[in-house]
Chain A
């Protein structure tokens, strides 16, 4: 993912130390878990599992847990972090397992260092990723239950295809697959999965995933390519499930299509939900519990699955948010270890001067069925301008914002932003052009902290790849630092510094509105669209807001387009006013002119009132108002 970075706000003021020692330390930090884990796992296997303690059965269960951990943690990336509900995970596991098994069965007898096996795992994982792409690309347009059903359907189709393919052993399956997977291999992959998902989660990509879960419309408006992120989560998750399949096949020595039915997928979903959606620790623990539970209930023979299902129901009723909610074990550890670093004093600076008109709307019209919501709308916004859009309820003001941000494409007419025609661009692409908005009915990422809400909005200014995020690459470290810095400053500017770590949903109403503005500013916009920022605020807050809007303009050098019903605010702050009624621009001009415009008064107060008070209005205006059709 490459993103352009230009203008004052879009450069990174931090430089990482480039000394050899520092580089080595970073490199070690990136791969340390593996450098330590693999020999340790090997040693455990060599000296404990086969150490003659009779732990064979225990270790077999531990290996099963390892596979379950890979499945649960990878599914958590889709279901928990990205909030997409997939219940076809077993299908991807089957793809990986069968591809790997078929290669293994045709592969060499001897496999020194199991390099060939590693290759088959990668092949299986790659095949599963391709399957994930093919499934995800079309179906991720759907949401919630529908997505769940489609993934379930795809999972079942994959199974039926395998059952009907000679190469995969048909309904009987494949047997005598070489036993290449063992404790070390399974747990190395399990640890790898945990680390990849954890590091992704903590990167800007992770926040993009979370923003998709919280509110897709808002995420898109903040410049997150929501479809892209859903597909990415799906593909990564499928690839990991494929690896789990490859490990499972070479561990058990056989594969049967019956073990990849939707019941298997449900088990994995149960692990994710039971552990807590979005909690990696939770997925790991739940994977262990749900794998061991039926094993150790085996003594109860026929009743074990009955008890298992009752426990599942009871756990769901008693702890609906799962065992761990969204929290992680390392969050608690980090709280102890956190060191406070001095913050460098950098300012969020103004973007460079832009060209002529930032927004240029020509004759935009939009119809919903037979209703023309906005008709022949024209608007030019120059840099640093303060424009207000007013009109009675249902006049089409918010629709204009939705047109500008690409939520709806116009039925007719053109909209250019920073000189570029936005036709065919999705909202996130328009956000990249420098348009940021707030929403009439607040659309924060409710379950994220104030700080993360702002950090999500910095997402599109970053260039780190997902690979870099996982490796803890140089660029990702620089960018993370820069994003945190920027987000901290924006919160401070909006007077929300003390709320940094509070969940957005717990903020009082006025602060939520200001957080929305902070979030919009974090995208580095050239135009800020504010949709009724004063709704529900009292007189004092309105005065403050008026000052704030002026400050934002001065400080960030942005143009502001304001939708507002509060006339005092509108008249006090805006330089130019457009009045909409029933989708038609009935007047535009300076605040003073609008106040005395008969058409505007008629729209607001009705024809009768306008006629009766005509003389009074004329007198007050002093001169006839200038109107534009």
Chain B
């Protein structure tokens, strides 16, 4: 039973990070119907920026403090927000009226660019990462809750709460939802679609940066290809919850993190990667619109 709760805690902590990344995928898909494959790499850049800031500007790497970590996270968020803005502006906007497969290829190109550009700038080797202070894990009836896990869960929940408010209770959030229903009509109703799309990219990238810092703190290292698998899995999480659906991405991330942790914990950890994709296939074959997605029938 202790094992069970331990896996539960670990699963929630990983799942919260997946959820943060998944939100970026799902929001961009919502407004643009584009699978932004570069999103996982924006996440990587976020972690890289965290490492860079902590190593370069402060001596936080040696004396981590929670306020230092916060400053670093904000810096990474700003950089990633700008990066997200630039990616959309330079790579995706010119292709907005082209077939969707083109945007997808461009997304793959951007993803390669960030990965190999990252390798060129940072070198291919992993570097250790530590912006959070070391604290002993909390012990609750034999279940250990690491300090990093605790921060992961709290930060993710806080960010998701803020996002929820933004999407459902602000003017720009309303505009985002309008664009996701129908960009042309939203434009006719006076919504500045270009601005909304840019904003969506920035928002998603900012969340990815936070997720990058949390992920790098949890598995304390950063390297240029670290965005590949978490990115792909977060995408699975977004599909699982119903792509384009904000609460769905949170739910999907959580479920995916839990499923992985339980399979790795009770079964064989080398099958961990297969879990995500098996779930993906099952959900798509059974309910392609995802758990919370809406189905739309084609009108003949």
A398 vs B280: C-alpha distance in the bound complex, in angstroms? Answer: 36
- B113–A320 contact, CB under 8 A? no
A270 vs B108: C-alpha distance in the bound complex, in angstroms? Answer: 9
Q: Count the B residues whose beta carbon is within 8 Å of the partner chain — how many? A: 43
Q: Count the A residues whose beta carbon is within 8 Å of the partner chain — how many? A: 45
Q: Does A153 contact B (CB under 8 A)?
A: yes
- B273–A160 contact, CB under 8 A? yes
Tell me which residues across on chain B come within 8 A of A85, comparing CB atoms.
Answer: 101
- A164–B270 contact, CB under 8 A? yes
Contact of B106 among A139, A305, A316, A439 (CB under 8 A): A316
- B95–A316 contact, CB under 8 A? yes
- B288–A163 contact, CB under 8 A? no
CB A487 to nearest CB in B, in angstroms, measures 25
A274 vs B101: C-alpha distance in the bound complex, in angstroms? Answer: 11
Tell me which residues across on chain A come within 8 A of B106, comparing CB atoms.
Answer: 312-313, 316-317
- A312–B112 contact, CB under 8 A? yes
A306-B271 contact, Cβ under 8 Å, with A145-B35, A317-B94: no
A158 vs B270: C-alpha distance in the bound complex, in angstroms? Answer: 14
Tell me which residues across on chain B come within 8 A of A270, comparing CB atoms.
Answer: 105, 108-109
- B277–A156 contact, CB under 8 A? yes
**Which residue of chain A has the shortest Cβ distance to B91 in the bound complex?**
A313
Tell me which residues across on chain B come within 8 A of A407, comparing CB atoms.
Answer: 300
- A306–B120 contact, CB under 8 A? yes
CB A318 to nearest CB in B, in angstroms, measures 9
Q: Does A303 contact B (CB under 8 A)?
A: yes
List CB contacts (< 8 Å) of B98-132 with chain A: 98-102, 104-106, 108-113, 115-117, 119-120
- A157–B274 contact, CB under 8 A? yes
- A149–B109 contact, CB under 8 A? no
**Which residue of chain A has the shortest Cβ distance to B284 in the bound complex?**
A150
- A320–B91 contact, CB under 8 A? no
Contact with B along A262-276 (1 / 0, CB 8 A): 100010011001100
**Which residue of chain B has the shortest Cβ distance to A269 in the bound complex?**
B105
Contact with A along B237-249 (1 / 0, CB 8 A): 0010001000000
Q: Does B285 contact A (CB under 8 A)?
A: yes
Tell me which residues across on chain B come within 8 A of A308, comparing CB atoms.
Answer: 112, 116
- A149–B284 contact, CB under 8 A? yes
- A160–B239 contact, CB under 8 A? no
- B280–A306 contact, CB under 8 A? no
CB B272 to nearest CB in A, in angstroms, measures 9
Q: Does A302 contact B (CB under 8 A)?
A: yes
A317-B35 contact, Cβ under 8 Å, with A270-B105, A270-B108, A302-B120: no
Q: Does A212 contact B (CB under 8 A)?
A: no
- A309–B116 contact, CB under 8 A? yes
- B112–A305 contact, CB under 8 A? yes
Q: Does A329 contact B (CB under 8 A)?
A: no
Contact of A145 among B100, B109, B277, B278 (CB under 8 A): B100
- A153–B105 contact, CB under 8 A? no
- A139–B273 contact, CB under 8 A? no
- The majority secondary structure among interface residues of chain A is helix
CB A327 to nearest CB in B, in angstroms, measures 17
Tell me which residues across on chain B come within 8 A of A164, comparing CB atoms.
Answer: 268, 270-271
- A303–B281 contact, CB under 8 A? no
Tell me which residues across on chain A come within 8 A of B102, comparing CB atoms.
Answer: 273, 316, 320
Tell me which residues across on chain B come within 8 A of A309, comparing CB atoms.
Answer: 109-113, 116-117
CB A567 to nearest CB in B, in angstroms, measures 25
List CB contacts (< 8 Å) of A489-528 with chain B: none
Q: Does B232 contact A (CB under 8 A)?
A: yes
Tell me which residues across on chain B come within 8 A of A266, comparing CB atoms.
Answer: 108
Tell me which residues across on chain A come within 8 A of B236, comparing CB atoms.
Answer: 149, 153
Q: Does A144 contact B (CB under 8 A)?
A: yes
- A273–B105 contact, CB under 8 A? yes
The residue among A142, A150, A303 with the most chain B CB atoms within 10 A of its own CB is A150
Q: Does A310 contact B (CB under 8 A)?
A: yes
- B120–A149 contact, CB under 8 A? no
CB A273 to nearest CB in B, in angstroms, measures 5
Q: Does A402 contact B (CB under 8 A)?
A: yes
Contact of A273 among B33, B101, B119 (CB under 8 A): B101
List CB contacts (< 8 Å) of A74-111 with chain B: 79, 85
Tell me which residues across on chain A come within 8 A of B105, comparing CB atoms.
Answer: 269-270, 273-274, 312, 316
A79 vs B105: C-alpha distance in the bound complex, in angstroms? Answer: 13
List CB contacts (< 8 Å) of A367-409 with chain B: 398, 402, 407
A462 vs B110: C-alpha distance in the bound complex, in angstroms? Answer: 46
CB B299 to nearest CB in A, in angstroms, measures 9
CB B223 to nearest CB in A, in angstroms, measures 15
The residue among B99, B109, B278, B284 with the most chain A CB atoms within 10 A of its own CB is B109
Tell me which residues across on chain A come within 8 A of B243, comparing CB atoms.
Answer: 145
Q: Does A545 contact B (CB under 8 A)?
A: no
Q: Does A118 contact B (CB under 8 A)?
A: no
Q: Does A433 contact B (CB under 8 A)?
A: no
A151 vs B243: C-alpha distance in the bound complex, in angstroms? Answer: 17
- B284–A139 contact, CB under 8 A? yes
**Which residue of chain A has the shortest Cβ distance to B243 in the bound complex?**
A145
A388 vs B232: C-alpha distance in the bound complex, in angstroms? Answer: 54
Tell me which residues across on chain B come within 8 A of A316, comparing CB atoms.
Answer: 95, 102, 105-106, 109
Tell me which residues across on chain B come within 8 A of A317, comparing CB atoms.
Answer: 91, 94-95, 106
- A142–B288 contact, CB under 8 A? yes
Contact with A along B67-95 (1 / 0, CB 8 A): 00000000000000000000000010011
Q: Does A154 contact B (CB under 8 A)?
A: yes
A402 vs B299: C-alpha distance in the bound complex, in angstroms? Answer: 10
- A142–B284 contact, CB under 8 A? yes
Tell me which residues across on chain A come within 8 A of B99, comparing CB atoms.
Answer: 277, 320
CB A464 to nearest CB in B, in angstroms, measures 30
Q: Does A35 contact B (CB under 8 A)?
A: no
- A306–B116 contact, CB under 8 A? yes
A219 vs B186: C-alpha distance in the bound complex, in angstroms? Answer: 33
A262 vs B281: C-alpha distance in the bound complex, in angstroms? Answer: 16
List CB contacts (< 8 Å) of B259-281 with chain A: 268, 270-271, 273-274, 277-278, 280-281
A153 vs B104: C-alpha distance in the bound complex, in angstroms? Answer: 16
Contact of A161 among B119, B274, B288, B298 (CB under 8 A): B274
- B98–A320 contact, CB under 8 A? yes
- B288–A146 contact, CB under 8 A? yes
A247 vs B281: C-alpha distance in the bound complex, in angstroms? Answer: 30
Contact with B along A138-177 (1 / 0, CB 8 A): 1101101110111011101100110110000000000000
- A217–B280 contact, CB under 8 A? no
Tell me which residues across on chain B come within 8 A of A149, comparing CB atoms.
Answer: 35, 235-236, 239, 280, 284
**Which residue of chain A has the shortest Cβ distance to B278 in the bound complex?**
A157
A156-B273 contact, Cβ under 8 Å, with A262-B232, A316-B102, A320-B95: yes
Tell me which residues across on chain A come within 8 A of B288, comparing CB atoms.
Answer: 142, 146
A138 vs B119: C-alpha distance in the bound complex, in angstroms? Answer: 39
Contact with B along A118-149 (1 / 0, CB 8 A): 00000000000000000000110110111011
**Which residue of chain A has the shortest Cβ distance to B285 in the bound complex?**
A138
Give the 9 A-B residue pairs with the shortest CB-CB distance, closest first. A309-B112, A305-B116, A153-B277, A312-B109, A309-B113, A313-B109, A160-B274, A320-B98, A153-B280
- A contacts, CB < 8 Å to B: 79, 85, 138-139, 141-142, 144-146, 148-150, 152-154, 156-157, 160-161, 163-164, 217, 262, 266, 269-270, 273-274, 277, 302-303, 305-306, 308-310, 312-313, 316-317, 320, 398, 402, 407, 439
20 CB < 8 A contacts A-B: A139-B281, A146-B284, A149-B35, A149-B280, A153-B278, A157-B281, A160-B274, A217-B298, A273-B101, A277-B99, A305-B116, A305-B119, A308-B116, A309-B110, A309-B111, A310-B113, A317-B95, A320-B98, A320-B99, A398-B300
Given contacts A153-B278, A310-B113, list 6 more A-B pairs with CB under 8 A.
Answer: A79-B101, A139-B284, A306-B117, A309-B116, A310-B109, A320-B102
